[in-house]
Each structure stands twice: as structure tokens, then as C-alpha cells.
Amino acid sequence: MILYYSPGACSLVAHVALEEAAAPYTAERVVLAEGAHRTPQYLRINPHARVPALEVDGRIITENIAILNYLAQRFGAAGSVPLDDPLAAARCNELLGWFASTVHIAFAQVWRPERFTADTDAYPTIVDGGHEALRGHFAEIEGLLGTGWAVDGHFTAADSYLLTFFRWGRRIGNDMSAYPRWAALAQRIVERPTVQRALATEDLTPEAFLQAA
Ligand SMILES: N[C@@H](CCC(=O)N[C@@H](CS)C(=O)NCC(=O)O)C(=O)O
């Protein structure tokens, strides 16, 4: 298998799942900041110009949720979807769906307003709307967390996704100390050797995923 990823992007979720599964794979870097996802070569892999993409025996799977469910069915390991517990699996997919379709999109409003309008004068409104939506989503995330994993009793892709968002929250200037349960979750996640291996491959430090001192 080949995982196409960009450092710190949502492809980190699939990256952690592959490490948790001890799956045979190589990681192929596609740096978004360099536009590597828009080259003709990568567009043949994912015409939507997005990471992650997972190549399996020459066939491509795109969309994090599809990749994670594939890895869950094939390896049954932590870090993806806990298929051995149907209600937990439903909760996990529910969170992944909300993250991908709603929380992630609010970040896109902040980082990529051009995706929502051609009217450059409207960009500040779109960006402000993204920040406001994220404040609401972040409060909801903090409220749904306890002292364990996001899906009770299972380390899943929902946790890795929340780890990724925690760093993004810092990057857009949020004070992440306002979310102590989420910060504690991030701390527990980066302590996992599998996560540390994925971060090392992506040239990221665990500290970037923790609450700034
Ligand atoms: N719905 C896709 C979204 C993937 C996505 O938006 N990935 C981002 C990185 S986090 C990306 O490739 N962005 C490229 C761009 O915005 O141009 C999924 O869940 O896999």
C-alpha cells in the first residue's frame, strides 16, 4: 500500500491507522504548500486534488472515511473504526462524518475563502464565519470528551482526527487552553509510539500537537 499524505494534513489520521495496524505500506509525501497535489501526476491518483489517498494493489481509495473503514475491515486494529463493536463503530463513523463534512469545512473557510466565493471583498466575511463556526465546534468537541478516548473504550480515528484539529486550532490562533479535556486527549494520543512514528515520518514534533506553554 502507498499512503499519499501532506505533513500535518488530515491524512495524518490514515497515517496513524496504518501504524496502529502495523500494515505494510510506504508513505509518499505530497506537500500541499508546494502545490504537489495539483500536478497532473497526482491528479491521476486523486482527481479531487486532496490528500489522503491510499493505493492498494494499484487501486486508489480516496476520502478519509473510506480509507479508515477499509483499514478497519482489513486489519481490525485500533486507530481506525472499531468494527468489532457495532455501536462504537457507528459512533466513530458519526464523529468522522461530522469532522469531515462540517468541522474540516469551517477550517477551509478560514484557510481557503476562495473556495466559497469569487468575490474577494467577501473573503473577510467568510473567514470570520469560519472562525465563529469553529468556536462553536470546539466547544462542542470539549463537551463530548471525558477522560478516555472520543469513542468510549476504543482508540479510534476520531482521536487522531481530534489531534490533527487541535494543532490546526493552534495554527489559526485559538487559545487551546480553553479546552482542557481535548488538550489532555492530545497528550495521551502523542504518547502512543504509533503516533510518534507517524509524526516522525511527517517531520512533525509532538509538541506541535500540545497546548502551547
Ligand atoms: N473529504 C476529504 C477531504 C480531504 C481534504 O480536504 N484534504 C486536505 C488536507 S487536510 C487537502 O488535500 N487540501 C488540499 C487543498 O485544499 O487544496 C477527506 O475526508 O478525505
| Domain ranges for the chain | 2-75, 86-192
- The answer to whether the beta carbons of residues 52 and 62 sit under 8 Å apart is yes
Instruction: Give the residue whose CA is nearest to atom 1 of ligand 1.
Output: 63
**103-124 tens-digit pLDDT:** 999 999 999 999 999 999 999 9
**25-34 tens-digit pLDDT:** 999 999 999 9
Portion of the chain with pLDDT greater than 70, in percent: 100
pLDDT of residue 213: 54
In words, the CATH class of domain 86-192 is mainly alpha
Nearest atom (ligand 1) to Cα of 51: 12
Nearest-angstrom CA–CA distance, 124 and 68: 35
Can you identify the CATH homologous superfamily of domain 2-75?
A: Glutaredoxin (3.40.30.10)
Maximal C-alpha separation, the chain: 50
- When the pLDDT of each residue in the chain is averaged and rounded to a whole number, the result is 97
Ligand 1 centre and the CA of 101: distance in Å? Answer: 11
Nearest-angstrom CA–CA distance, 44 and 183: 38
Cell representation of residue 194: 504509533
Q: What is the 3-state secondary structure (H, E, C) of 67-81?
A: HHHHHHHHHCCCCCC
| Cα distance from N-terminal residue to C-terminal residue, the chain | 38
**Ligand 1 site-directed mutation target among 50, 96, 102, 116, most atoms within 8 Å of CB:** 50
**129-163 tens-digit pLDDT:** 999 999 999 999 999 999 999 999 999 999 999 99
